[in-house]
């Protein structure tokens, strides 16, 4: 039977759900109950969520946690994190506490340029195109004046327009490469509107516009965060060996792509969690970060570590195109709350905070990997999730937590221990 449907977007929410369970869940009423139990009882709030995307049938919740004790450039922060993976918030909190006793984190914004491009095809003489561009450049800026006037008042706008010859990569391919300053806005809509106006002004009978779109690769929208202390102050047994192994772990991530991908994924655990909590676009951040990790021609670590003159230093350099105005930042109630928790930061301040979250996460992971191993802490956090899946009561839950205090935690081991406990209690 065909499951094709016409006019689906025009159906009411309950009608969409009825169609769904009729076609995919054999009219199981429990599916409808599951979807509806996540509706917000506040109808105004639910309508707000319904309008975020199309064809909404329910809400998908992520745990919203906080990681306290972060000191960044001498300022205390409690960082909001929205993520489903266990141990991420705990790791961030532990790292924040660790470095708060060692001067905290230092962070600085290196640059804030964002990029957009008009991609076009041109088969004529290159010199003629160059002359056309030079004569047209001022008109391209004038074509965007109605769009840029408010942004200019806030200190932003178009920084430059370049004509780039890309015919070595693709026959007849050129682009207008445009750089922007968008201040506290992520700026996607602003950039795309400017580019489309430029494209309309630039095209002629010889120039075929293919598309106009911002780039999520922003190597000049860059932030750096770091921590450092004497090796002897690292607070572990045999601190010199620990520091040496830590630096080697980072070096391995720079030498081995298989390791680098997982290494950077751990960094993004911390970054994405704060990006999501503050209503920013984690997919754009992910894409830009991983492209930056490949800027040398080989995928490498986003972090670095050194030991020089007895000083351990660990830092991250990462592109982060963020906004604190526009989009969900002023619509989603928890995003607004998150930004208020952070002191209503500017986009530059938020860049620093989020870079620190990524650095903290990486420090926690590398410290575990080079000492006790990653699974000990991770599986301890995961233990409660396994117990919940088994449906254990509070008494049995506490017994299992105590039982595995000094034992290796695996899913099978927990299931066996729980089944044995049930049999003994029968």
Round to whole Å and give the CA distance between 281 and 214: 14
- From the candidates 85, 145, 395, 416, give the one annotated as an active-site residue: 85
Structure tokens given for 190: 């602003």
DSSP 403-417: HTTTS---HHHHHHH
Q: Which residue is associated with the tokens 């599951």?
A: 34
- SS3 (DSSP) at 270: helix
Cite the beta strand spans of 57-172 per DSSP E.
Answer: 64-72, 75-82, 106-112, 114-122, 157-165
Closest CA to 183 of 80, 326, 290: 326
Calpha distance 305→312 (Å, rounded): 7
Catalytic residue list contains 184: no
- The single residue of 13, 265, 348, 380 carrying the catalytic annotation is 265
The encoded tokens of residue 399 equal 């017994």
User: Tokens representing 353?
Assistant: 């905070």
- Beta bridge partner(s), residue 228: 313
Token digits for 93?
Answer: 């909190």
What kind and span of H or E run contains 241? helix 239-255
- The tokens for 352 are 């620093």
**C-alpha span between 333 and 132 (Å, rounded):** 49
Interacting residues of 320 by C-beta distance below 8 A, sequence separation 6+: 221, 222, 223, 271, 285, 288, 289, 351, 354, 355
* The one catalytic residue among 136, 281, 300, 332: 281
E strand segments, 166-220: 173-181, 207-215
Q: Which residue of the set 32, 300, 378, 382 is catalytic?
A: 378
Report how far apart, in Å, the C-alpha atoms of 37 and of each of 58, 221, 382 are. 8, 42, 25
Q: Which residue has the tokens 């506040």?
A: 42
- 313 catalytic residue (yes or no): no
Judge whether 265 counts as a catalytic residue: yes
Distance CA 408, CA 423 (A): 22
Q: Could you give the CA distance from residue 356 to residue 273 in angstroms, rounded to a whole number?
A: 12
Active site residues: 85, 265, 281, 378
């Amino acid at each position: 039977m065909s499951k094709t449907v016409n006019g689906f977007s025009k159906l009411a929410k309950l009608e969409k759900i009825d169609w769904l369970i009729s076609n995919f869940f054999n009219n199981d009423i429990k599916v409808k109950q599951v979807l509806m139990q996540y509706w917000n009882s506040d109808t105004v709030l639910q309508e707000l969520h319904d309008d975020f995307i199309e064809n909404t049938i329910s809400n998908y919740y992520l745990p919203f946690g906080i990681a306290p004790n972060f000191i960044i450039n001498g300022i205390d922060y409690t960082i909001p994190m929205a993520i489903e993976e266990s141990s991420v918030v705990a790791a961030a909190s532990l790292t924040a506490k660790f470095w708060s006793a060692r001067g905290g984190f230092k962070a600085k914004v290196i640059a804030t340029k964002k990029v957009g491009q008009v991609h076009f095809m041109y088969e004529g003489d290159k010199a003629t195109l160059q002359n056309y561009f030079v004569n047209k450049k001022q008109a391209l800026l004038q074509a965007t004046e109605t769009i840029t006037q408010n942004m200019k008042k806030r200190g932003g706008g178009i920084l430059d327009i370049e004509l780039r010859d890309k015919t070595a990569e693709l026959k007849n391919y050129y682009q207008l490469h445009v750089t922007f300053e968008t201040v506290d806005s992520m700026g996607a809509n602003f950039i795309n509107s400017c580019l489309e106006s430029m494209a309309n002004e630039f095209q002629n009978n010889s120039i075929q516009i293919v598309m106009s779109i911002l780039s999520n690769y922003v190597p000049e929208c860059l932030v750096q965060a770091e921590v450092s202390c004497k090796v002897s102050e690292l607070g572990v047994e045999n601190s010199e060996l620990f520091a040496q192994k830590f630096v080697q772990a980072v070096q391995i991530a720079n030498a081995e792509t298989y390791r680098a991908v997982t290494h950077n994924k751990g960094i993004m655990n911390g970054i994405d969690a704060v990006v999501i909590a503050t209503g920013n676009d984690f997919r754009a951040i992910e894409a830009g970060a991983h492209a930056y990790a490949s800027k040398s021609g080989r995928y490498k670590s986003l972090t670095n570590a050194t030991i020089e003159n007895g000083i351990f230093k660990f830092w991250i350099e990462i592109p982060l195109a963020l906004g604190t105005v526009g989009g969900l930042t002023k619509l989603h109630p928890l995003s607004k709350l998150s930004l208020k928790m952070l002191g209503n930061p500017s986009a530059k301040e938020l860049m620093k905070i989020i870079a620190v979250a990524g650095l903290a996460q990486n420090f926690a992971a590398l410290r575990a990997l080079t000492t006790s191993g990653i699974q000990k802490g991770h599986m301890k956090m995961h233990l409660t999730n396994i117990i919940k899946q088994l449906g254990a009561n509070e008494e049995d839950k506490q017994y299992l937590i105590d039982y595995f205090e000094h034992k290796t935690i695996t899913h099978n081991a927990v299931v066996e221990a729980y089944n044995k406990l049930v049999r003994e209690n029968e």
